[in-house]
Structure 1
Amino acid sequence: MKRLNKSFHFSGWVIILLLIVTSCGVSENEALQTLKNVVQDAKEMTPPQPNETTKPLTFYKPETFEITEEDEYNVILEEQGHLFILYSNPLGDEQKQPEHANEFFSDTLSFAENEGSAQIKIIVTKEDEESYLITVEKGPIKMTNRTDDRSHLSRNAQYMLEIMASASPSSKEKSS
């Protein structure tokens, strides 16, 4: 009888634990609403001072981020296993987008920087049931991140908006 009670007791805890874990998930609507709030808050944000200069860009790098790779146009950053790709296309001109781009990006959340100089756009693309691609653009400078967890959407977007608000082309000499 004691053996039956122990196995039932263990099974009961497993079921309760599974219910807690599955009920703690963030719904897509909640994640997107939180993301919209982050974007709205970013309108009021004072851009952080750049603290990192690489070959292609000068930008603010949060303390928890590490630069894992850098080349002439790209900087790969990592934060707790999440990869962020920051890159510059010096030949890019956002004014020359094809007309159909406006239709494709019709649901894009966008806002202007405090200084009114450059437009920052955030584009979130749902790749599959749990995978999202976040792209933040400011002129020829872009940053991307892929997340498989909806609960990371707003946190990653907030980091990206902070970094992009401070990002500008670097004047650092390019080494051969």
Structure 2
Amino acid sequence: MKPIFSIATIVAFIFFISACQITEEEAIERSQQAFSERFASTETVEVNYEGDQIDFYLPQGMEITEEIDFNIQLEKDNQIFLLFFIPVEPWDSEVHLIRDQEFEIDAVAFEALESEDKLSYLSISPSEEGYYKIIVGLGGAKITTISEVENVVDSTEIMTEILHSVQYKD
């Protein structure tokens, strides 16, 4: 009787674990939704990082690992994020959008949103097996990372939050 109970427990556990995993399609769809909702939101996040050229919201658990002219490398849980910015470009600039449209030809999602004074975009492209390259841009700033499928939504949310808090220094 004990072996049958053990097998039943293992099978139930496998079903439970597989039900909790997010599919690639769900991850991409939820990332697009998170990106769109944040773009439409008027809620502001308080800046908590002051750099030499730029101030922005640095999410909890994330650290700056390198800062050089117009580039900042961030890291969270061994995942690297690269923030690129051109302070002279306005928030509705197409500079990064056009370039990434040309280079990200394998994108499974490419969405651009525009308001009166902002142009933002999200690009999600397959990388290696089980990983995706995510780019979130806003005017002359963009942030990019490589993420496992199960972290695509969280990565997109973090990246979008950071970009929408960016403030350039004079």
TM-score, normalisation: structure 2: 0.76
Q: Which residue of structure 2 aligns with residue 65 of structure 1?
A: 62
Q: Which runs of 5+ in 1 are unaligned?
A: 172-176
**Aligned pair partner of 2:36 in 40, 44, 49:** 40
Q: Which residue of structure 2 aligns with residue 160 of structure 1?
A: 159
**Residues 113-140 of structure 1: CA deviation (Å, up to 9, x unaligned):** 6xx3331111111224421111011233
**Residues 46-76 of structure 1: CA deviation (Å, up to 9, x unaligned):** 2323221223422111233222222223222
SS in structure 2 opposite 1:134? strand
Check conservation: 2:82, 2:144, Cα contact below 8 A: yes
Q: Which runs of 5+ in 2 are unaligned?
A: none
Check conservation: 2:66, 2:72, Cα contact below 8 A: yes
SS in structure 1 opposite 2:164? helix
Change (3 A) 1:160 1:45: farther
**Aligned pair partner of 1:54 in 51, 55, 60:** 51
Moved more, 156-165 or 102-111: 102-111
Check conservation: 2:127, 2:146, Cα contact below 8 A: no
Separation in 2 of the partners of 1:57 and 1:47? 17
Q: Offset at 1:13?
A: 2.4
SS in structure 2 opposite 1:154? helix
Q: Which residue of structure 1 aligns with residue 112 of structure 2?
A: 110
Q: For the pair shown, which has the larger CA radius of gyration, 1 or 2?
A: 1
Q: Which residue of structure 1 aligns with residue 147 of structure 2?
A: 147
Paired residue type of 2:121: K
Paired residue type of 1:162: E
Check conservation: 2:28, 2:124, Cα contact below 8 A: no
RMSD: 3.1
SS in structure 2 opposite 1:12? helix
TM-score, normalisation: structure 1: 0.74
Q: Offset at 1:166?
A: 1.6
Paired residue type of 1:74: N
Separation in 1 of the partners of 2:147 and 2:49? 24
SS in structure 1 opposite 2:46? coil
Q: Which residue of structure 1 aligns with residue 126 of structure 2?
A: 126
- State the number of aligned residues: 163
What's the % identity of the aligned pairs? 20
Separation in 1 of the partners of 2:80 and 2:168? 21
Separation in 1 of the partners of 2:95 and 2:33? 28
Change (3 A) 1:107 1:66: closer
Separation in 2 of the partners of 1:68 and 1:61? 12
